[in-house]
Amino acid sequence: MSYKGISDFRSDTVTRPTEKMREAMYKAEVGDDVLGDDPTVIRLEELAAEKLGKESALFVPSGTMGNTIAIKVAIPQGTEVLLEEKSHIYNFECGNISRIVGALPRPIKSSRGKIPLESLEFNFHRGERAHIPDTAGITLEDTHNYWGGAVLEPEYLAQVSKFAKKKGIHFHLDGARIFNAAIALSVDAKELAKHADSVMFCLSKGLGAPIGSMLAGTKEFIESARLVRKFLGGGMRQAGVIAAAGIVAIQEMIDRLGDDHIRAKKLALGISEIEGIIIDPQEVQTDIVIFEVDPEKLSVEEFLEELGKRGVLALSFGPGRVRMVTHKDIDDKDVERAIKTVKEVMKQ
């Protein structure tokens, strides 16, 4: 349902907390989380760890901080990290691998988020020559944002895990939308998470919480992560107020993600029939719809402006590309409205 007359498809981060979340936040029992005694944060961390089948979890303010902490804990300064060339960590996290960790990110081409095993092998370095940093880790993204919410299957993750173990390197999964992947694949999120040494997921995206992400791993890993979170300024005191919404997000908002996927597919199918819109709806697996606008007809900037004037918001996502994301505050009417509006704009 549109909010104040606007159908906002810019991201699943725009979701507003549910009534239940607001109520839970109001009533949240709190302590001082930096001193380790906020009972609501402790409950959220236990719940998140349990959901992913990991020993322990840490509540962090954002996905970016969760990924940064994971890499900082696992990757020594002066080594390198293998990652996918279109990954969020490489492209949209402020260069934190170099800025904060002091490691070299080595971006590798993929097929919709899957780096071929041979490429991992080819790009792996260990004590070869004094010039080349040793490879200390690999990160992957499931679902993959830039690749339109593409999922990585457990079988592929198992192969990467085997590679990482063989080489003795850390495997971190940016699972900002791991529950979307799990729902799309009809598997438990544990079946995805179990292959990675650490996993980050966001409460603040499709799960609808206002703030926060979780980082999960072994007890020892999370103990180190807690120290890194503090030095990055992520110690949050009475954080139970926001953790309470996170608990509702995990308990109540996962199963409904399938509705977002159905709507994303509907949207993709609808706009694929419009002249000047380039998209393969078969590629839409979860809540993200990415398409190109024929530049002979309209630039992306003009397209977004015209859409916005009619109350439909989308985001520019790389040269010539537009992204629309479905979420709990988008219903069937918003999808119909979006298709109709794109048609109108492209006809002008």
Would you say 40 or 213 has its CB closer to ligand TLP? Answer: 213
Whole-number Cα distances in Å, 165 to 123, 162, 173, 196:
16, 5, 15, 10
Give ∠ CA 305-309-312 in degrees, rounded to 5: 85
Residues forming contacts to ligand TLP in the complex (CB under 6 A) are: 11, 13, 62-64, 88, 92, 141, 145, 174, 176, 202, 204, 213
Would you say 144 or 195 has its CB closer to ligand TLP? Answer: 144
CB of residue 180 to ligand TLP, shortest distance in Å: 10
Residue 258 burial by Cβ neighbours in a 10 Å radius (0-12, 13-18, 19+): middle
With a CB cutoff of 8 Å and minimum separation 6, the contacts of 326 are 9, 12, 260, 261, 263, 264, 267, 287, 289, 335
Would you say 44 or 346 has its CB closer to ligand TLP? Answer: 44
Whose CB is nearest to ligand TLP?
Answer: 63
CB of residue 213 to ligand TLP, shortest distance in Å: 6
Helix axes 63-74, 219-231, angle to 10 degrees: 110
Residue holding tokens 């791993």?
217
Would you say 18 or 143 has its CB closer to ligand TLP? Answer: 143
CB of residue 22 to ligand TLP, shortest distance in Å: 20
CB of residue 184 to ligand TLP, shortest distance in Å: 15
Would you say 91 or 224 has its CB closer to ligand TLP? Answer: 91
Would you say 93 or 346 has its CB closer to ligand TLP? Answer: 93
CB of residue 291 to ligand TLP, shortest distance in Å: 16
Q: In this structure, how many other beta carbons lie within 10 angstroms of the beta carbon of residue 155? A: 8
C-beta separation of 40 from 206 below 8 A = no
Interatomic CA distance for residues 145 and 177, integer angstroms: 9
What is the Rg, in whole angstroms, of the alpha carbon atoms belonging to the chain? 20
CA 334: distance to chain centroid?
A: 23
CB of residue 347 to ligand TLP, shortest distance in Å: 29
C-beta separation of 328 from 14 below 8 A = no
Would you say 202 or 345 has its CB closer to ligand TLP? Answer: 202
- DSSP secondary structure code for residue 18 in this structure: P
C-beta separation of 152 from 192 below 8 A = yes
- DSSP secondary structure code for residue 256 in this structure: T
CB of residue 145 to ligand TLP, shortest distance in Å: 4
Would you say 274 or 326 has its CB closer to ligand TLP? Answer: 326
Would you say 221 or 317 has its CB closer to ligand TLP? Answer: 317
Give the three-state DSSP class for 181.
helix
Interatomic CA distance for residues 192 and 182, integer angstroms: 7
CB of residue 313 to ligand TLP, shortest distance in Å: 12
CB of residue 175 to ligand TLP, shortest distance in Å: 8
